[in-house]
Amino acid sequence: MYKLRSMSFLPAKFARSGPPSPGGERLGHLPVAILLLSAFFSALLAAWWSTIFLPRPSLFTLLASVLLLAAGLAASLVGRRREETLLKRQIAETEARVHRCEKEAAEYFENAATGMHLVNQDGTILAMNGAGLELLGYSREECVGRNVVQLQADPQAAREMLRRLAHGEVLRGVGVRMRCKDGSLREVLVDADVLWREGNFIHARFATRDITEQKRAEAELKTAKENAEAAARTKDRFLAVLSHELRTPLTPALLAVSELERNSKLPVGARLNLGIIRRNVELEARLIDDLLELTRISRGKLELNLSEVETHSLIRKVVDLCKADIDFKQLEVEVDLRASRRKVYGDPARLQQVFWNLLRNAIKFTPTGGRIAVRSEDQDGRVSIQVADSGIGIDPQDLARIFEAFEHAGSSIAQHSGGLGLGLSISHAVVEAHGGSLRVESGGAGEGSTFTAELPVIKEERVRDSSSRQKAEEGAAKPLSILVVEDREDTAQVLAHVLETLHYRVRAVGTMESALELAESQRFDLLISDIGLPDGSGLELMWKLSRKGPIKGIALSGYGMDSDVRLSRDAGFAVHLTKPVDMTRLMAEVARLSSQPMGHKVA
C-alpha cells in the first residue's frame, strides 16, 4: 500500500500508527497523515482569520476548538476503519466455514451408502450420488438432466410423489419400483422432502434404500409357507381318509364281538378268544387315534373342551375299563385316592385318555401276578396322581427321552413290547396343555416305574346339582325310537340288533334318501348315522331331519379330526363317535340322550 514517506515533518510515531490489515501490515499512514495535515492547515487558516477579523482574546479559544474538532474527526474515522476491517475478517472466516460445510456435505452426499438424488420442481435430476448410480447402472452424465419420472416403473406414481412434495408433504418409506439401465426393476423404499428458501422450491431431496433382496426373500418365504400349509392340508386329508378306511372295517368286528359276549351260554374258551379279538381291535383303533392326536399336537392344534372334572371319578372309570386286562394278567391293583381337592378345570375326554395311557402302560409292562398302585394326594394347590408298577422298569439312559414320540422303537422297552411309543408323548402334551406336569421315576431295569401327573385344582370347588343327575339316571332306561343310517350292511345289522336287545325301537337303512322317506311316515327320537353315505352326507341328513322336528343325533365316522367333530356339532349332532365304535360308549351316549328332554342342547 502506498505510504506518505515524503512527509518528513511528521513525527515518526504517526508513520506507524495505523490499524493492522488482515495481512498484518499497518494501514494508517495515509489516512492519519491526511487527517493531521487537514487539521494543521485548518488551524492556520483559523488563526489567520481570527487575527485579521476577530478580536485578539478569541484567537486562542478558536484555535483550540478547531484542533479538538479535527482530532475527534480523525479518531472517529480511524475507529470506523477498524470496524470495517474486523467485519471483512469475519465475513472471510464465515465464507471459509461455509465452503468447508459445502465440501463436507458434497462428500457425504457422494459417499453415502444410501442412494440419493436431487431434482427440481418439474422432476429433472440435478445430481445423483455414487450409490444411486450404481443401483440403477447409469453414469453421471446419463442420469443428470433426465426426468425422475423416466426412472420409475410407474410414471403416474412418480408424478404423484412430485405433486405431494410440491404441496409441502414429507414422504417416508414409500415403496417404489425403479427401472435400471438394463431394463430390470429394483424394489426401493423412498424418503423425500423439499428444501425451501424464502418460500421458493429449491430442490427435492430423495433417499432410496434397495429392498429387492428383502422382497425376494419375503416372497420365497410366503411361497414356502403356502407350500407347507398345502402339504399339511394334504397330509391331514390323507390321514383322515386313511383313518376312515382303517376304522371302518373294525366297526362290524367290534360290534359282533360285543354281541357275542352278551351270550351267557358262550363257552369259556370262546369267551377268551373274543377277549383277544376285542383287545386287538381296540389296540388298532388306539394306534389310529394316537397318530391323529400326535398330528394335532405337532401342529399346535390340540383343542380342549374345558369343564369341571372330578379326577377320582375318571380314575375309577379307567380302572373299570382296564379290568379285563388286569384280570387276564392276574395283577394286584391298589387304588388309594386320598386327595381332598381333586376337581380340576379340564377336558374330561383328554384327561381320561391320559389316565388310561398311564394305567395301560403299567399293565402292559408288569409281568403276570405283579402289582400296580394308583394313588392321589394333595400337592401345593395341585392334585398329584401316581401310577406305580412293579414291572420291567426303565433304563436310566431312556428316562430323559421317555416322553418323545416313537421313542419305544429305539429303547430297551421295545424288547419287551411293541407299539409306536405315542401314548406317553401324547399324555405329556395333554397334561402340559392343562397347566400341569408329567414325570417318571424308575430305579432301572427290573425296578418298576412310577408316573406322576400333577394338575392345578379348582380353588373353590362347587357342588353339583344332584337333582338333575337323579333325573338323568331315572330316564336313562327310557327307550327311544332310533333311526340307524349305515351303508355297510354288516355294521348296520349288528348295530340294530344290539340296540333292539336293549329294547329300543330301531329302523335301519343304508341311504339318505331311504332315511328321509322313512322319516316322512314315522317319527324318530334319535338318529345314529354314518357321515359318509352313498347319496349324500350324514351332516346334510341331520340338517334336513332337524328342520322337520326335534331330533337328537349321534354321528359315526372314520374321520376323527377336530374339524370333523366341529362339522358334526354344527350340523346338529350331539355326539361324534369315531370308528370302530365302542359299543359300551355308544350305549352310554344313547342312554344319556334318552334322559334329556327333546330339544335340550348338548354341550
Q: How far is CA 478 from the centre of its chain?
A: 51
Cα–Cα distance measured from residue 601 to residue 603, given in angstroms and rounded to the nearest whole number: 6
First to last CA, the chain: 110
For range 158-174, the mean pLDDT: 92
**Secondary structure percentages of the chain, helix, strand, coil, to 5:** 50, 20, 30
SS3 528: strand
Cis bond leading into 580, ω under 30°? yes
Contacts of 3 (CB under 8 A, 6+ apart): 15, 29, 30
Query: For residue range 395-454, what is the model confidence (pLDDT) as tens digits?
Result: 888 887 888 876 654 455 555 555 556 788 888 888 888 888 999 999 888 889 999 999
Q: Name the one residue in this structure whose C-alpha cell is 421295545.
A: 414
Query: What are 529's three cell numbers?
Result: 348315522
For range 579-601, the mean pLDDT: 72
152 has which bridge partners? 178
From the number of C-beta atoms within 10 Å of its C-beta (0-12, 13-18, 19+), residue 91 rates as exposed
Buried/exposed 393-423: b ≥16 CB within 10 Å, e otherwise: bbeeebbeebbebebbeebebeeeeebebbb
H or E element, residue 451: strand 449-456
SS3 526: strand
Cα–Cα distance measured from residue 422 to residue 541, given in angstroms and rounded to the nearest whole number: 36
H or E element, residue 268: helix 268-298
Cα–Cα distance measured from residue 159 to residue 138, given in angstroms and rounded to the nearest whole number: 21
Number of H helices, E strands in the chain: 19, 19
Residue ranges of the alpha helices (H) in 19-150?
A: 29-53, 59-111, 130-136, 140-143
Q: Binning pLDDT at 50, 70 and 90, where does residue 38 land? A: low
**Is domain 112-210 annotated with CATH 3.30.499.10?**
no
Q: Binning pLDDT at 50, 70 and 90, where does residue 467 land? A: very low
446: nearest Cα among 372, 515, 511, 365 = 365
Backbone angles phi, psi at 242, to 5 degrees: -60, -45
Average pLDDT, the chain: 80
For range 292-296, the mean pLDDT: 73
Evaluate if residue 488 carries a pLDDT over 50: yes
305-456 matches 472-594 in fold: no
Please state, in angstroms and as integers, the Cα–Cα distance from residue 4 to each residue in 37, 187, 219, 269, 556, following that order. Answer: 12, 75, 86, 148, 126
- Provide the pLDDT for residue 7: 41
350 has which bridge partners? none
Residue type, 210: D
Cα–Cα distance measured from residue 590 to residue 83, given in angstroms and rounded to the nearest whole number: 112
SS3 277: helix
Query: For residue range 234-285, what is the model confidence (pLDDT) as tens digits?
Result: 877 777 777 777 777 888 888 888 888 888 888 888 888 888 888 778 777 7
Q: How far is CA 438 from the centre of its chain?
A: 27
Which class in CATH covers the domain with range 472-594?
alpha beta
Q: Binning pLDDT at 50, 70 and 90, where does residue 14 land? A: very low
Strand runs labelled E in 198-310: 200-210, 307-310
Domain topology for 305-456? Heat Shock Protein 90 (3.30.565)
Question: What does the domain layout of the chain look like in residue ranges?
Answer: 12-106, 112-210, 305-456, 472-594
H or E element, residue 25: none
15: nearest Cα among 32, 37, 36 = 32
Cβ proximity of 557 and 531 under 8 Å:
yes
Q: Name the one residue in this structure whose C-alpha cell is 414320540.
A: 405
Cβ proximity of 201 and 166 under 8 Å:
yes
Evaluate if residue 144 carries a pLDDT over 50: yes
Please state, in angstroms and as integers, the Cα–Cα distance from residue 305 to each residue in 136, 349, 557, following that order. Answer: 59, 9, 20
SS3 195: strand
Evaluate if residue 27 carries a pLDDT over 50: no
Angle at CA 54, nearest 5°, toward 48 and 60?
A: 65
DSSP letter for each residue of 200-223:
EEEEEEEEEEE-HHHHHHHHHHHH
Query: What are 365's three cell numbers?
Result: 409292562
- Provide the pLDDT for residue 562: 75
- Provide the pLDDT for residue 479: 62
Helical axes 29-53 vs 59-111, angle rounded to 10°: 160
Query: What are 72's three cell numbers?
Result: 475527534
pTM of the model: 0.45
Kindly report which listed range (105-114, 155-164, 294-303, 503-512) carries the lowest average pLDDT score. Answer: 294-303
Cβ proximity of 598 and 525 under 8 Å:
yes
Buried/exposed 38-64: b ≥16 CB within 10 Å, e otherwise: ebeeebeebeeebeeeeeeeebeeebe
Q: How far is CA 511 from the centre of its chain?
A: 45
Tally of CA atoms within 13 A in the half-sphere of 193 that contains its CB: 4
Backbone angles phi, psi at 498, to 5 degrees: -65, -45
